[in-house]
């Protein structure tokens, strides 16, 4: 395994199938969050580079080597990408870890999911060939209608830093499967593996311009991509405030968007859970996985008062047993958050909660044995009021807040007491109760007797301020398809809407 301060591959922007220096030749430092050391740099693109990349994508749509491909032909490229990612799994996982800070085994698991995702969308690309033209039955025999599913066009893909290569794949794989040409702008806080995807695409011979990758700051690269008149759609995963800006800019051109934004998901635990340790582990996993930096994190524990004391005692024992270390160390279960800015934000939210009267039951500080890196202890906060910021706002760090309830009605009210609506979970052996809560939760995802499992086959997305549209499964492929109605008049009789002029 690579050492923590290894330097990253030096890359340029990936445009039109080639590595290209940014027009303004600027670069951004890459900081390892575990050591706070600069380990390399990435190119910083600007509006000029965005324009070049969009033009390359538009040309790709007009060429036979990409724009006229069948789903089966595109599937071959997707499977080749999957095979190359698998071949480079150890290297990619290490790059992900030193760039993002997540434990290496988590990063390696993400790479496995990347492989599976590309293979899954290869299958869907092949299946698309038989579904691209569908007849629609009409009530009039004088007409025939069919519907074409065709690539939407040039799509802009903007991805976050918590699952760098995996979130990139969630968008790139279905976009390419649909036959679109894409311009990807990954987060400037974690771009390394997205750039390595460019090298993989070059190695497998993906047609030039089908995928272009621009790293850089949001206001310098992301904003010009969103507002570019030749970009047909934007798919964004990230923060709510940025999502609002993207939606506003896209509206000026009536450009469709899909938004997967933040969350403040509830985990409701009833006193009939058959095994307290199983419930405790799902509680930890739901909030502390990926260093707590998950948009769907079940960071609001809502527990029945009859077992609250016993449950919290056991939760503390499990939490104290979590290994916090350099994420490249074996059996690390909690690494650093992504950046100094995020580190300071999380600590400030914890401090504010304490000042507002909440109790820091555990954690809330830097681990004493780690003097460098953006590490924060897993934190459990009790005596929380629903008016507190820690209850209302997304923390995006290893912080769990706790409230108790007496009745189902109270639990549902607490669960839905949020402007977000991404995920929600319930732990109970009463499956009829679980079904009631499934219907009552105001969310796009529900977990029953678990929290945070994610698969590439079902849809992923939320409601309310967690955004709209769905990633993954067949639903994601639909994001990148245009539905075209074609109607033909097949009668030999005149339409006879207008009166015929007299014959001479």
470 C-beta neighbours (distance < 10 Å), count: 19
In the structure encoding, which two tokens stand for residue 381, read together? 């906060």
Characterize 182-214 residue by residue with b for buried, 16 or more Cβ atoms within 10 angstroms of its Cβ, and e for exposed: bbbbbbbbbbbbbbbbbbbbeebebbbbbbbbb
Tell me which of 106, 196, 260, 394 is the catalytic residue.
260
Angle subtended by helix axes 308-320 and 276-288, to nearest 10? 60
Angle subtended at Cα 212 by Cα 422 and Cα 468, rounded to the nearest 5 degrees: 20
User: How far apart are the C-alpha atoms of 423 and 412, rounded to whole Å?
Assistant: 14
265 C-beta neighbours (distance < 10 Å), count: 32
- Contact 280/443 with Cβ under 8 angstroms? no
Distances (CA, A) of 419 to 245, 335, 422: 18, 29, 10
- Contact 81/200 with Cβ under 8 angstroms? yes
Q: Is position 260 annotated as part of the catalytic site?
A: yes
User: How far apart are the C-alpha atoms of 473 and 415, rounded to whole Å?
Assistant: 27
Sheet of 143-151, strand order: 133-136, 143-151, 481-489
User: How far apart are the C-alpha atoms of 504 and 495, rounded to whole Å?
Assistant: 21
Q: In the beta sheet, which residues pair with residue 24? A: none
Sheet of 233-237, strand order: 18-20, 13-15, 211-213, 181-186, 154-159, 233-237, 257-260, 467-468
Distances (CA, A) of 247 to 89, 210, 225, 226, 420: 35, 25, 13, 9, 17
Q: Which of 292, 235, 246, 241 is nearest to 265 (CA)?
A: 292
Q: Supply the residues annotated as catalytic.
A: 260
């Amino acid at each position: 395994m690579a050492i923590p301060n290894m330097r990253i591959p030096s890359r340029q922007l990936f445009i039109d199938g080639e590595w290209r220096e940014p027009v303004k030749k600027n670069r951004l430092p890459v900081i390892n969050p575990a050591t706070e050391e600069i380990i390399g740099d990435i190119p910083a693109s600007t509006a000029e580079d965005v324009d070049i990349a969009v033009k390359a994508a538009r040309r790709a749509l007009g060429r036979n080597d990409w724009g006229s491909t069948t789903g089966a032909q595109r599937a071959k490229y997707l499977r080749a990408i999957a095979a190359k990612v698998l071949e480079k799994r150890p290297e990619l996982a290490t790059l992900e870890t030193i760039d993002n800070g997540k434990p290496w085994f988590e990063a390696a698991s993400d790479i496995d999911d990347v492989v599976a995702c590309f293979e899954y969308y290869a299958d869907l690309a092949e299946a698309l060939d038989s579904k691209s033209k569908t007849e629609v039955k009409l009530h009039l025999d004088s007409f025939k209608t069919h519907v074409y599913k065709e690539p939407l066009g040039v799509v802009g893909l903007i991805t976050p830093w918590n699952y760098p290569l995996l979130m990139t794949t969630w968008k790139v794989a279905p976009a390419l499967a649909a036959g679109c040409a894409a311009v990807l702008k990954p987060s400037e806080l974690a771009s390394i593996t997205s750039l390595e995807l460019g090298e993989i695409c070059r190695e497998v011979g993906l047609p030039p311009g089908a995928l272009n990758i621009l790293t850089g700051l949001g206001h310098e690269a992301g904003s010009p991509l969103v507002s570019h008149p030749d970009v047909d759609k934007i798919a964004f995963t990230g923060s709510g405030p940025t999502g609002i800006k993207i939606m506003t800019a896209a509206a000026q051109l009536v450009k469709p968007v899909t938004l997967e934004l933040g969350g403040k998901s509830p985990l409701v635990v009833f006193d009939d859970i058959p095994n307290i340790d199983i419930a405790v582990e799902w509680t930890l996993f739901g909030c502390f996985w990926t260093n707590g930096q998950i948009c769907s994190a079940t960071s609001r524990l809502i527990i029945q008062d009859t077992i609250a004391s016993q449950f919290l005692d056991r939760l503390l024992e499990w939490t104290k047993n979590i290994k916090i270390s350099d994420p490249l160390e074996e059996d690390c279960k909690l690494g650093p958050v992504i950046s100094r800015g995020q580190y300071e934000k999380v600590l400030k939210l914890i401090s504010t909660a304490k000042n507002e009267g909440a109790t820091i039951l555990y954690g809330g500080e830097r681990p004493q044995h780690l003097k460098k890196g953006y590490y924060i202890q897993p934190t459990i906060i009790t005596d929380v009021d629903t008016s507190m910021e820690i209850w209302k706002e997304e923390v995006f760090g290893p912080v769990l807040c706790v409230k108790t309830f007496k009745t189902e009605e109270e639990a549902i009210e607490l669960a839905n007491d949020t402007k977000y609506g991404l995920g929600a979970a319930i732990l109970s052996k009463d499956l009829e109760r679980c079904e009631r809560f499934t219907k009552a939760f105001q969310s796009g995802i529900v977990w029953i007797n678990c929290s945070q499992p994610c698969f590439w086959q079902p849809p992923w997305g939320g409601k309310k301020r967690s955004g709209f549209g769905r990633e993954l499964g067949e639903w994601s492929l639909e994001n990148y398809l245009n539905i075209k109605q074609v109607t033909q008049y097949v009668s030999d009789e005149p339409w006879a809407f207008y009166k015929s002029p007299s014959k001479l």
